[in-house]
Chain A
Amino acid sequence: MTWKGKDMDTSKRNLYCNLAALCLLAVVLYLFDQYGTEYQIRILNNMAVFITLAVSYNLVNGMCGLLHLGPNAFITIGAYTSALLTMSPMEKQMSFIIEPLIWPFSVLQAPFFVSLIAGGVMATIFAFIISFPVFRVRGDYLAIVTLGFGEVIRVLCNALQGVTNGPLGLKGLQPYTNLWWSWGIAVFTIIVITKLVNSSYGRAMKAIREDEIAAKAMGVDPFRHLMLAFLVSAFFCGVAGGLMAHLITTISPTLFTFFLTFNLLIIIVVGGLGSTTGAVIGAALFAWGGEALRVVESPMNFGAFTIPGIPGMRMVLFSVILMVVIIFARRGIMGRNEFSWNWLFTKLGLNAK
């Protein structure tokens, strides 16, 4: 059996399955859009934003095996860039009361989509600049350098009042982010990153993760490929930052602390480092689970005794779940495996073998 034959047999079926899955997603989104409560729509939007973030973050941490701790910086840059572009010059003038907004941001205004792309591009530019110092080191040192960068950006957001309005943040953004935008971008991110990971470039990245010395000896330039992953990841983090800004409609530096990076790290570790499917599952569980667990914080009545509502109980339970996952599935829910139609069909016993 040649490889070509095997590919051809299933590729058509997989294409149809993918299209069917997309249609199903569209129908579900439509139903929620029409009949869902505001609360449900909000959770779904959050889920999509976190899927975009986790999938792109996983490209660096999971596929390339780098402990990158600075995605919050790129999310911040994306969020601010995009927010500054969608606000009208009038609004900006009213918001920036301490120090006026510097030119050209003060006069520029762009449609939502353009502002998202601009956020992504701006994040990519910053990623490009810092990739030179970052990739001189590896391992723990790389973690520290990227962590430091995240903090620098946060501090700058507080200090550069002429650009970011400092601690006051930007308020009253238009809630442009709806289900179509957030899920559209999430699906696009998943497709593009999956294609990249499964291509020759993705293999080179994984080879660097497995053994950088051997990868070099096989002709792979580590710097170029790590940078590629880093920039692609930064771009989508920036776009997701823009989505986030127009979902929450108020942004300030406190929103983008290291805690955000930490949440993303938990998501991809629980989902399975190096698995895009895992990142999606992790993000979905995080966004939905975080809300679903609110139940435990309300007062509960067990007939004989009553538990008063304990704020923060949610986080305790969340930690317990985390520990259970790490103990029983050390490599996360998916490990490094990916969902595939072949796998599903084999499980269902439908694969002609």
Chain B
Amino acid sequence: MNDFFRLESLVMQFGGLTAVKDFSLSIEPGELVGLIGPNGAGKTTVFNMITGFLTPTSGRVLWQGEDITGLSVHQITARGIARTFQNIRLFSDMTVLENVMVSFHHKVRSRFWKAMLGLPSHGKEERRIRQESYRFLQELNLGHLADEKAGNLAYGQQRRLEIARALATYPKLLLLDEPAAGMNPQETMELADLVLEIRQKHALTIFLIEHDMKFVMGLCERIKVLDYGISIAEGTPEEIQSNPDVIKAYLGEPKHA
């Protein structure tokens, strides 16, 4: 058992429907773990419970020795867990640079009245945020688009901006919800490289949901499989590929003649 990140028998019920049942998982620092499962298996629900969008019916989320179950979303982000969204959620009417700058806000030290009076200390902080945000954009090859409205970006660029924005909160654990959704094979390959690169550079632990099996199997060190809210398998990509339960969940049982 480690103290870094642990989910203890999470249960999420919506009325009579049990979306996730008894979900436990422990992730070591620096690991790259995948969460897969058919549509509606409850993968995003797990993410929502970790990030505070949903409060689990029972169970605990432990993060660096602290029980963060039931904290608000922004408090959890401030503790170093960032996420991206399955359906892209950018601040479309703001510029690309501003999108990233928002992520710095939870660490802003000058009070609002200093901002309103335009005191130098706030101006200094603003300039620092601008510089650092720009660095994140450059890192994700978006530097030349800094002044563009986020809503005008191409699809792949929007996905990258979501990652840049999440990175700018300086997380230790990054949750990626279907990062490769809607990408062509070429883009997916580039994304896999990018994920490895940012993990290396920012000393990240990554937990991701993805449907693209080639992507998941090639990238993740460990995979967890959910089906109808129940975790049916956990192991290395090789173990998962040959697991009969997983094959059954994805393809159904062979019909007897």
Q: A2-B131, A211-B89, A211-B91 are in contact. Are A220 and B102 (CB under 8 A)?
A: yes
Asked whether A138 is an interface residue with its Cβ less than 8 Å from the other chain, the reply is no
A337 CB → nearest B CB, Å:
11
| Total B residues in contact with A, Cβ cutoff 8 Å | 41
Residue of B nearest to A204 (CB): B105
Give 1 or 0 for each of B46-73: 1 = CB within 8 Å of chain A CB.
0000010100000000000000000011
Instruction: For A210, list chain B residues within 8 Å (CB).
Output: 90-94
Asked whether A203 is an interface residue with its Cβ less than 8 Å from the other chain, the reply is yes
Asked whether B116 is an interface residue with its Cβ less than 8 Å from the other chain, the reply is yes
Asked whether A140 is an interface residue with its Cβ less than 8 Å from the other chain, the reply is no
Asked whether B209 is an interface residue with its Cβ less than 8 Å from the other chain, the reply is no
Q: A4-B127, A200-B125, A214-B85 are in contact. Are A220 and B105 (CB under 8 A)?
A: yes
The docked-state distance in angstroms from the alpha carbon of A72 to that of B43 is 47
Give 1 or 0 for each of A47-62: 1 = CB within 8 Å of chain B CB.
0000000000000000
B interface SS class: helix
Residue pairs across A and B with Cβ atoms less than 8 A apart, 10 shown, are A3-B130, A195-B115, A196-B112, A200-B129, A216-B53, A216-B74, A218-B106, A218-B166, A218-B169, A220-B105
The docked-state distance in angstroms from the alpha carbon of A228 to that of B72 is 19
Q: A195-B115, A203-B102, A214-B91 are in contact. Are A219 and B130 (CB under 8 A)?
A: no
The one of A4, A203, A221 that contacts B98, using a Cβ cutoff of 8 Å:
A203
Q: A214-B91, A218-B169, A219-B74 are in contact. Are A200 and B83 (CB under 8 A)?
A: no
The docked-state distance in angstroms from the alpha carbon of A206 to that of B90 is 12
Q: A203-B101, A218-B165 are in contact. Are A195 and B92 (CB under 8 A)?
A: no
B60 CB → nearest A CB, Å:
21
B70 CB → nearest A CB, Å:
15
Q: A200-B129, A210-B91 are in contact. Are A220 and B72 (CB under 8 A)?
A: no
For A200, A204, A207, which residue has the most chain B Cβ atoms within 10 angstroms? Answer: A200
The docked-state distance in angstroms from the alpha carbon of A196 to that of B110 is 12
The docked-state distance in angstroms from the alpha carbon of A203 to that of B115 is 12
A334 CB → nearest B CB, Å:
14
Asked whether A192 is an interface residue with its Cβ less than 8 Å from the other chain, the reply is yes
Asked whether B117 is an interface residue with its Cβ less than 8 Å from the other chain, the reply is yes
Within 8 A of A (CB), among B120-167: 122, 125-127, 129-131, 134, 165-166
The docked-state distance in angstroms from the alpha carbon of A210 to that of B134 is 21
Give 1 or 0 for each of B75-98: 1 = CB within 8 Å of chain A CB.
001100011010001111110001
The one of B73, B118, B126 that contacts A217, using a Cβ cutoff of 8 Å:
B73
Asked whether B104 is an interface residue with its Cβ less than 8 Å from the other chain, the reply is yes
Instruction: For A199, list chain B residues within 8 Å (CB).
Output: 112, 115-116, 122, 126
Give 1 or 0 for each of B27-58: 1 = CB within 8 Å of chain A CB.
00000000000000000000000010100000
Residue of A nearest to B115 (CB): A199
Asked whether B108 is an interface residue with its Cβ less than 8 Å from the other chain, the reply is yes
Since A196-B112, A203-B98 are in contact, a sample of 10 more A-B pairs with Cβ atoms closer than 8 Å, ordered by chain A residue number, is: A195-B115, A200-B108, A200-B125, A203-B101, A210-B93, A211-B90, A215-B102, A217-B53, A217-B73, A219-B169
The docked-state distance in angstroms from the alpha carbon of A216 to that of B166 is 12
Nearest 9 Cβ contacts at the A-B interface: A219-B106, A199-B115, A210-B91, A219-B77, A214-B89, A216-B73, A207-B102, A195-B118, A200-B108
Instruction: For B231, list chain A residues within 8 Å (CB).
Output: none
Asked whether A105 is an interface residue with its Cβ less than 8 Å from the other chain, the reply is no
Asked whether B103 is an interface residue with its Cβ less than 8 Å from the other chain, the reply is yes
Residue of A nearest to B82 (CB): A217
The docked-state distance in angstroms from the alpha carbon of A7 to that of B127 is 9
Within 8 A of B (CB), among A89-136: none
Within 8 A of A (CB), among B158-183: 165-166, 169
The one of A201, A220, A221 that contacts B112, using a Cβ cutoff of 8 Å:
A201
B57 CB → nearest A CB, Å:
21
B27 CB → nearest A CB, Å:
19
Asked whether A42 is an interface residue with its Cβ less than 8 Å from the other chain, the reply is no
Instruction: For A255, list chain B residues within 8 Å (CB).
Output: none
Within 8 A of B (CB), among A210-241: 210-211, 213-221, 228, 232
Asked whether A336 is an interface residue with its Cβ less than 8 Å from the other chain, the reply is yes
The docked-state distance in angstroms from the alpha carbon of A7 to that of B126 is 12
The docked-state distance in angstroms from the alpha carbon of A219 to that of B108 is 11
Give 1 or 0 for each of A236-256: 1 = CB within 8 Å of chain B CB.
000000000000000000000
